[in-house]
Every structure is written in C-alpha cells, then in structure tokens.
Amino acid sequence: MTQKTSNQMWGGRFAAGPDAIMEAINASIGFDKRMAAQDIAGSRAHAAMLAAQGIISDKDAEAIREGLLTILSEIEAGDFTFSTALEDIHMNVEARLKEVIGEPAGRLHTGRSRNDQVATDFRLWTRDQVDAAIEGLKALMQALLAQAEAGADWVMPGFTHLQTAQPVTWGHHMMAYVEMFSRDLSRFTDARARMNESPLGAAALAGTSFPIDRHMTAEALGFDRPAANSLDAVSDRDFALEFLSCASICAMHLSRMAEELVIWSSAQFRFVVLSDRFSTGSSIMPQKKNPDAAELIRAKIGRIFGANVALTMVMKGLPLAYSKDMQEDKEQVFDAADNLMLALAAMTGMVGDMTANRPALEAAAGAGFSTATDLADWLVRALGMPFRDAHHVTGSLVAKAEAKGCDLPDLSLAEMQEVHGAITDEVFTVLGVHNSVASRMSYGGTAPARVREQIARWKDTLS
C-alpha cells in the first residue's frame, strides 16, 4: 500500500500518512467543494471578528481577507486544484491560503474547529437552497394562477377514486395545487427561521477560551443569533433533515400533479396538450408525444424521500457531539436540492406551456352521471324530500338512464315521473354541468365566482 507523508494539518502527531483506502473513505472534497463560497464567507467573518477582538492583528486579518478573495476567484474561474489528500473543502482552502499569503494563514483557525466550520458552511448552503425553493414555488404558483384565471369557469369532471364524481371548474382544480404548494412554501419559510442560528464559534464542541464574539460572526453571515449550546451546535443536522422533509412533501405534491398530467395528456383523456418544449418523441413510433418531464418529476420523490430517510438513519443513535458519520449528510442534501429545483422548474415550464382542451374537459364533465348529486339536492329543495329518500330516487333515475344508455339530462320528464310522480321540468335547470358548478357557492367551493375570489386573494398575496 502507498505510504504518504503525514497530513500537514495534524502531522505532528502522526509518523505515517493514510492508506489509499483510508484516504478514499475519508475524503469529502469530491462533493463538499460545492460549499466553497460558504466556506470562504465563514472564514472571512471569522477572521474579521478575530481582528475586531484583538485576537489576531488587523494586518493579518487583511492578508487573510485578500487571500480568501483570491482563492474564491480561483475557484470561480475553475483554476483551483482540489486535493483529495487535503480531505475536504475546509483544509483545501486553508492550505491554499498558506500558499497565497504565507504565515498569517495559520492564524485563521484560532478559536475555531472544522466541526463548527462545516456546520456553518452547510447551514449557509442549505439556507440558500431553502431560498431557491421558495422562489421556485412562487414561480410555479404564478403559472398555476395564470391557468386558473384563464379557465376559471371551464367545466371538467371532478374525481374521487378516479371515477367521475361531480363537475368542477378547471380554475378550481388548478387552485387546489396553489394551496398545496403554498403549504410547501410556508413549511420552507418556517424551516428557514429555525435553521438560521450560527454554529460558528462552538469550536470543536466546548466553545473556546479565546474572547471571540459569536454575535458578530452570526450577524455577518446573516444568521439571527448564535446557537446557544456549543455541543448542540456542532452535532445538530436538524436543519438538513427539515430541508429534506419539506423537500419530500413538496416532491410528493409535484409527483401527484405530474401523475395527473400524465393521465390528462393521454389519448384516452385528452384534457391537456403539453407543449413540444416539454415533451419527447419515440424512436420507433412516429405518432408519439410522451410526457417524459412529468414522469421524471413523478419519480423524483423517490430519491428525495430516499435522502430524507438516509440522513435520518445516519443521525439516529449518534452520541454528542460531532461524529464523522455526519460527513454523509451533504450528498443527500445536495442531490435532493438539485432534483427538487429541477422538478420545480420543469413543472413550472410545463404548467406555463400546457393547453387545456376545453371541449374535451366539458364533454367529460357531463359524463358518468356527474350531476346526480345536483338532482338529489333539487329533490330535497323543491319537493321537501329527506336527503336519504332523494338519494334513493336519484339512484333509480341513474339506473334508468344507464339502462337506456343515456345521461341524466337526456331522460324525458315522463321517464323521470315514472320514478317519482312529483318531479317537474324545473329539474332540468340543475342538471347541466354549468348549473352544477355555478351552484357550488359554499366557501371554498368550485363555483367560478368563488374560484375568482381565491385567484384574487393569491395574486394579492404573491405580489
């Protein structure tokens, strides 16, 4: 096995370097280099605070600041050589700082440990993703609002058990998703408030004997306050788990909507036409237009929820404070965040581009005896019948129409009166699908007037 020279950060204690396999299992630089900007921001805040507290000189702090900015531009330009031997982003940056500015680099790590450093960097990274998710959700809600507004009074079948239940409006259906995604937005907002505490200065686990100012670094990094317990600060990954659980619920919502789009765009339904921009073709069947984006969005919940479960399992049973197990947190969150943002953007694009097939929606709305409940309600209202009796009479009328192979409004008055003699031709005013939806005026109901109220409320909230 290759023997390497001992690590420059802790070589004093070590006679030999790590085995290649040790290095392979230990290194996180392959993925945690994504936190370079956060690492440098954290180090800049820390160095400025050390100088303000008189722990390092202003001259050293200035050299550190400039060196870190140089490194940031090297990384941004793709000119930085990441080294696996240096294990992670923290040590890669610090080692490069030493090359760039020399001796003052060694003063940066005063009163700090990689344990609070990684907790800080990862919190900052996750917080950015929460902000991105919130923006992505707002864009999706706007796209849904535009669809809802265009078709506030278009009728379509509402389903239970995926069986036609009662007519609803297209606008109402779109607004149901606005409600779902608004809860995701609210969950991410709550999670952000809870995660916004700074671990920096907790040091390895116990705090430090240097007179550091944790409030100063917390403020510089946009945190609301420093985390109050140093043991908790370095060992807490709740913020990552909350991100993953918010992301999982959001991905579940996206998956449900994606499933509807897959069904709706099928030749059997033809409720929507997805744009060419968000569809794919088949290599063998020239006529095909496939809803691949919707299918992939439907599937994303698998890896996102998987990440949530994986990190929960990593964290369970870990004693306080830091354990190396926690290095396994990042890839889960990185992958979940990447895929959530992609799914949100793809759904926003699909919803923005799709065309609802109004005639097909309307034709389907009336099928399957969808206004049977309206008929029962009319029997209660007009004839004073108890609802249970009205339900029974309506059931007989449905059976009659089914036997005749027609829909409820196609039965003649005489045929209806064979079932119940007191029925008058006023009944036909409630049977059409438009009458049906217009009558659903209860708060939160599908009546176009109610839907327009909700659209106005959400437009106001989002603007």
Q: Is 92 in the site for ligand ARG (CB under 6 A)?
A: no
Q: How far is the CB of 88 from ligand ARG (least distance, A)?
A: 4
Q: How far is the CB of 260 from ligand ARG (least distance, A)?
A: 40
The two tokens of residue 153 are 């009074």
Core vs surface per residue 36-55: b (16+ CB within 10 A) or e: bbbbbbbbbbbbbbbbeeeb
According to DSSP, the β-strands at 355-356 and 272-273 are: antiparallel
**Total site size for ligand ARG, rule CB under 6 A:** 10
Active-site annotation holds for 161: yes
Q: How far is the CB of 178 from ligand ARG (least distance, A)?
A: 38
- From 123, 138, 121, select the one nearest 195 (Cα to Cα): 123
Question: DSSP string covering 435-462, please?
Answer: HHHHH--STT-S-HHHHHHHHHHHHHHH
Nearer to ligand ARG, 244 or 346 (CB): 244
- From 47, 234, 45, select the one nearest 122 (Cα to Cα): 234
Active-site annotation holds for 83: no
Catalytic residue among 186, 266, 282, 396: 282
Q: For residue 123, what is the DSSP state?
A: H
Core vs surface per residue 226-264: b (16+ CB within 10 A) or e: bbeebebbbbbbebbbbbbbbbbbbbbbbbebbebbbbb
Instruction: Tell me which residues in 348-407 interact with ligand ARG (CB under 6 A).
Output: none
Nearer to ligand ARG, 297 or 333 (CB): 333
Catalytic residue among 161, 209, 283, 442: 161
Rounded CA-CA distance 448/454 in Å is: 10
Q: How far is the CB of 113 from ligand ARG (least distance, A)?
A: 7
Q: How far is the CB of 14 from ligand ARG (least distance, A)?
A: 14
Nearer to ligand ARG, 10 or 443 (CB): 10
The DSSP bridge partners found for residue 158 are 166
Question: DSSP string covering 33-87, please?
Answer: GGGHHHHHHHHHHHHHHHHHTTSS-HHHHHHHHHHHHHHHHHHHTT-----GGG-
Rounded CA-CA distance 234/47 in Å is: 20
Q: How far is the CB of 208 from ligand ARG (least distance, A)?
A: 15
Nearer to ligand ARG, 23 or 149 (CB): 23
Which x/- pattern, by CB under 6 A, does the window 9-48 give for ligand ARG? Answer: -------------------x---x----------------
Nearer to ligand ARG, 31 or 428 (CB): 31
Core vs surface per residue 195-224: b (16+ CB within 10 A) or e: bbbbbbbbbebebbeeebebebbbbbbebe
Q: For residue 290, what is the DSSP state?
A: B
Q: How far is the CB of 79 from ligand ARG (least distance, A)?
A: 23
Nearer to ligand ARG, 230 or 454 (CB): 230
Rounded CA-CA distance 356/258 in Å is: 15
Which x/- pattern, by CB under 6 A, does the window 97-136 give for ligand ARG? Answer: -----------------xx--x------------------
The two tokens of residue 296 are 């992939």
Nearer to ligand ARG, 318 or 449 (CB): 318
HSE-CB at 120 with a 13 A cutoff on CA atoms is 38
Instruction: Tell me which residues in 281-340 interact with ligand ARG (CB under 6 A).
Output: 322, 324, 326-327
Nearer to ligand ARG, 113 or 166 (CB): 113
DSSP reduced 3-state for 169: strand
Binding site for ligand ARG (CB under 6 A): 28, 32, 88, 114-115, 118, 322, 324, 326-327
The residues that are catalytic are 161, 282
